[in-house]
């Protein structure tokens, strides 16, 4: 069996591009940053870029492509944005049209791609400090929830913040806050600790995206702003078309997580 945790980003992207890996990417290519994707026609790009500037906790932008380009210059210069993510989603007017392992056939000359930092980047830092990451332990996708927290609107874009959740023993919460606070480009410190109802989550065992994970007795749910927020926002704003990654199925970049601290 292949060890995906120690694979290089280039090897992993090659497997993904050829279609032999289509699952979620948490824990893959340990130490390398993964990125959320939101692709929009250029007519929406300014409003969306402004939205990310106004909502840096949920939308920390790692790179924006040039118009029409499927290539990146900085975080993964050899990647093909349209083929190197294990699973994509296409939305038209805010409605999910389907999931694809390759979106090259849908590419438009006016597409602009936004690559947004992902909380998977701080998971290796948490594990290195013996802070447990439950969904990796249980080999599931991270649980994600649409909250009652309003994003700051920009132009046509508005919507609720999406968060990811990791349950922690109480004595590990402070350590987790400190570790993640040092990495603002991958969502930074948590946005909420404890009572799910406080941020509008009705049932912690029914995530809106990803999988349920076990919360052991006495553990505290800790919530981080999540790069799936753009999908929630796209659903609200209803642009003519938008392509995103499927939650948990990220672009693996050539940038080390530790570099994102600076």
Q: Site residues (CB under 8 A) for a second copy?
A: 45-46, 49-50, 52-54, 61, 64, 74, 152, 181, 184, 189, 262
Closest CA to 134 of 197, 203, 210: 210
Looking at beta carbons only, is 144 or 189 nearer to a second copy? Answer: 189
Nearest approach, Cβ of 254 to a second copy (angstroms)?
17
Nearest approach, Cβ of 74 to a second copy (angstroms)?
8
Nearest approach, Cβ of 161 to a second copy (angstroms)?
16
Nearest approach, Cβ of 9 to a second copy (angstroms)?
21
Residues in the chain: 262
CB 71 within 8 A of CB 104: no
73 CA to centre of own chain = 20
Nearest approach, Cβ of 167 to a second copy (angstroms)?
24
Looking at beta carbons only, is 137 or 150 nearer to a second copy? Answer: 150
Nearest approach, Cβ of 59 to a second copy (angstroms)?
11
HEC-encoded secondary structure of the chain: CCCCCCCCHHHHHHHHHCCCCCCCCCCCCCCEEEEEEEEEEHHHHHHHHHHHHHCCCCCCEEEECCCCCCCCCCCCCCCCCCCCCCCEEEEECCEEEEEECCCHHHCCCCEEEEEEECCHHHHHHHHHCCCCCHHHHCCCCCCEEEEEEECCCECCECCEEEEEEEEECHHHHHHHHHHHHCCHHHCCCCCEECCHHHHCCCCCCCCCECCCCCCCCCCEEEEEECCCHHHHHHHHHCCCCEEEECCCCCEEEEEEHHHHHC
Looking at beta carbons only, is 7 or 189 nearer to a second copy? Answer: 189
Looking at beta carbons only, is 174 or 181 nearer to a second copy? Answer: 181
Nearest approach, Cβ of 2 to a second copy (angstroms)?
35
Looking at beta carbons only, is 44 or 145 nearer to a second copy? Answer: 44
Looking at beta carbons only, is 74 or 99 nearer to a second copy? Answer: 74
Looking at beta carbons only, is 74 or 169 nearer to a second copy? Answer: 74
């Amino acid at each position: 069996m292949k060890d995906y945790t120690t694979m290089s980003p280039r090897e992993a992207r090659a497997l993904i591009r050829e279609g032999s890996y289509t699952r979620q990417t948490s824990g893959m290519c340990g130490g390398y940053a993964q990125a959320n994707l939101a692709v929009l026609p250029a007519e929406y790009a300014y409003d969306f870029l402004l939205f990310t500037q106004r909502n840096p906790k949920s939308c920390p932008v790692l790179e924006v492509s040039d118009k029409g380009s499927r290539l990146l210059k900085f975080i993964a210069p050899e990647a093909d944005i349209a083929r190197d993510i294990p699973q994509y989603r296409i939305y038209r007017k805010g409605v999910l049209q389907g999931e694809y392992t390759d979106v090259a056939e849908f590419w438009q000359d006016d597409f602009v791609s936004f690559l947004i930092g992902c909380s998977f980047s701080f998971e290796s830092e948490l594990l290195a400090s013996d802070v447990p990451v439950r969904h990796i332990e249980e080999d599931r996708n991270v649980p994600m929830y649409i909250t009652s927290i309003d994003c700051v609107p920009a132009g046509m874009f508005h919507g609720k913040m999406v968060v990811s959740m990791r349950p922690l023993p109480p004595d590990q919460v402070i350590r987790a806050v400190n570790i993640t606070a040092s990495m603002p480009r991958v969502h930074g410190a948590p946005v909420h600790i404890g009572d799910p109802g406080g941020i509008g989550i009705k049932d912690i065992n029914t995530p809106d995206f990803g999988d349920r994970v076990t919360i052991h007795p006495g553990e505290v749910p800790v919530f981080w702003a999540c790069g799936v927020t753009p999908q929630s926002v796209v659903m609200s704003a209803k642009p003519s078309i938008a392509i995103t990654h499927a939650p948990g199925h990220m672009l693996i970049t050539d940038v080390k997580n530790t570099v994102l601290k600076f």
